[in-house]
Amino acid sequence: MVLAFFIASVSEKTSRIIYSTFYGWNDARQLGDVALTTHGADSSDLESLRGPSEMNEELKTRSDLLKRVHQDVVEDMKNAPPEVSSSSSDVTVHLTERKGQFFFRDADVGDRIVMWHSFGECSFVAICDETENTALAAHCLKLVIQSVSSHIIFLTPAELNAKIGLLRSIVELYMPSGRLLFISQSTVKQYEQMLHKLAS
């Protein structure tokens, strides 16, 4: 299971998070687990009982988590050997790729594995359960990147910001509700046909 997925700029000048989504956040937080057990309520009940200040606090906690992970990814990237690849669009552009993973321990989410894959000016990051199949997580990240790069010619923060709806659709297809699935080539073709219609 993926707790969170985000795309960030890897440029030193504009290092920032471009897109992010969370899955199973309440289940991942130890405090949330205690609250669920103590009160016997489900997460939707708790969501409806929270006030604006609690929601703002949760957003800040999520944002801080992503910033910490992003900083660690940037540090890890410095040690990863670069690979040169070509984008899958009609225009041949040689982009530098790096990929890696590391163990992440955090008070808010416990022990996690962070999988990252940088491509061009962006890094694609999945924060996964520590028991997750890392080969499958890496494969899903690669599928997301291939799909994004086939629909968005230049992978720059500005281009990605302009296509947030398309990004959301791609991530939801390849990581539905944060689940990592084995996806066949025929399914990938079906997804890409759907996305092509959406993008045009």
The tens digit of pLDDT for each residue in 139-178 reads 999 999 999 988 887 777 888 888 888 899 999 999 999 9
pLDDT computed for residue 51 by the predictor: 57
Which helix (H) or strand (E) covers residue 125, if one does? strand 122-129
Confidence grade of residue 82 (pLDDT, cut at 50, 70, 90): confident
At 89-110, the pLDDT tens digits run 444 455 678 899 999 988 777 8
Confidence grade of residue 138 (pLDDT, cut at 50, 70, 90): very high
| CA–CA separation, 96 and 121 (whole Å) | 9
Question: Looking at residues 29-55, what average pLDDT do you find?
Answer: 43
- Domain residue spans of the chain: 2-35+53-82+95-199
Confidence grade of residue 86 (pLDDT, cut at 50, 70, 90): low
Closest CA to 123 of 150, 148, 91, 92: 148
Q: Would you say 80 and 106 are in contact if contact means Cβ atoms under 8 Å apart?
A: no
Closest CA to 127 of 2, 17, 23: 2
pLDDT computed for residue 199 by the predictor: 73
* 45 SS3 class: helix
| CA–CA separation, 8 and 26 (whole Å) | 24
pLDDT computed for residue 44 by the predictor: 41
Residue with structure tokens 């944002």?
A: 63
pLDDT computed for residue 174 by the predictor: 94
Which helix (H) or strand (E) covers residue 48, if one does? helix 43-49
Question: First and final CA of the chain: distance in angstroms?
Answer: 31
pTM comes to 0.79
Which helix (H) or strand (E) covers residue 144, if one does? helix 134-151
Give the CA count within 13 Å in the CB-facing half-sphere of 78. Answer: 6
The residues near 196 (Cβ < 8 Å, ≥ 6 apart) are 151
Confirm or reject CATH 3.90.1150.10 for domain 2-35+53-82+95-199, answering yes or no. Answer: no
pLDDT computed for residue 187 by the predictor: 92
